Amino acid sequence: MKTQEINYKFGDQEYRAFVANPEKESAPLVLVAHTWAGRDDFVEKKAIELAEEGYVAMAVDMYGDAKVGTSTEENQSMMTPLIEDRDKLKAIINSAVEAGKKIDGVDSSKVAAIGYCFGGLVVLDLARSGTDISGVVSFHGLLMSSDISTDGIQAKVLVLHGERDPMVPLSMVDDFQKEMTAAEADWQLHSYGNAYHAFTNKEANDPNLGTQYNENADKRSWQSMMNFFTEIF
């Protein structure tokens, strides 16, 4: 396996992605979109785990210059501008897709994107943008709706949700399901009982934020993703 950093641009801003490449002759590309904290060790480790499964994995940078927050306040200040400008968010992640397709060994006909928390919203917005990729997977992602391209949703959609996630109330889940059905998307949502926000992150145990690691949900959601990849690739 080889790891490297690659750069891509949107407007005048440069973005820096971490790539884990199994160095196969041809492999699907899986983008990994980070939490509100930025392109940190958590998503880089996920990229390495995906490469170990045979995928070229690219931990994207949504903030530019691979910025990583050091506090709740800083994380919020980096994420909020993109939450408030979903068109820009969609443009940045689409720039990452195009950069990823150029990586050596990538089969550009087989592309998926996964994301965690804020990154879940990012990959769902990638699907909403109408980009023709194989599928997207949201892990405990934010489910706020956004405009859907006139091209519709081309990617298959898998949402892996913690039933007790305080950041994603049942009303938001219901609205999301109605949004996907109205868009005639190929979608599914798995809800893990007694799982809170950030259930895949062993470091996320903040009762004030409603984050808590859940070993069962972590393992089950990863297996659900792998089953999904078997289907779409």
**What is the DSSP track for 142-164?**
--------TT---SEEEEEEETT
Q: pLDDT tens, 31-58?
A: 999 999 999 999 999 999 999 999 999 9
- Interacting residues of 228 by C-beta distance below 8 A, sequence separation 6+: 135, 137, 156, 158
Burial class (CB in 10 A: 0-12, 13-18, 19+), 53: middle
What is the fold, at CATH topology level, of the domain defined by 2-232? Rossmann fold (3.40.50)
pLDDT of 204 higher than 90:
no
Q: What is the mean pLDDT of the chain?
A: 97
- Interacting residues of 163 by C-beta distance below 8 A, sequence separation 6+: 191, 192, 193, 194, 195
Secondary structure, 3-state, 79-132: HHHHHCCHHHHHHHHHHHHHHHHCCCCEEEEEEEEEEECHHHHHHHHHHHCCCC
Q: What is the DSSP letter of 20?
A: E
The single residue listed with the structure tokens 């050596």 is: 104
In total, the chain counts a number of residues equal to 233
Domain locations in the chain as residue ranges:
2-232
pLDDT of 207 higher than 90:
no
Q: pLDDT tens, 52-104?
A: 999 999 999 999 999 999 999 999 999 999 999 999 999 999 999 999 999 99
Q: Is 184 strand, coil or helix?
A: coil
Q: pLDDT tens, 122-160?
A: 999 999 999 999 999 999 999 999 999 999 999 999 999
pLDDT of 208 higher than 90:
no
Nearest CA-CA partner of 111 in 153, 152, 61, 55: 55
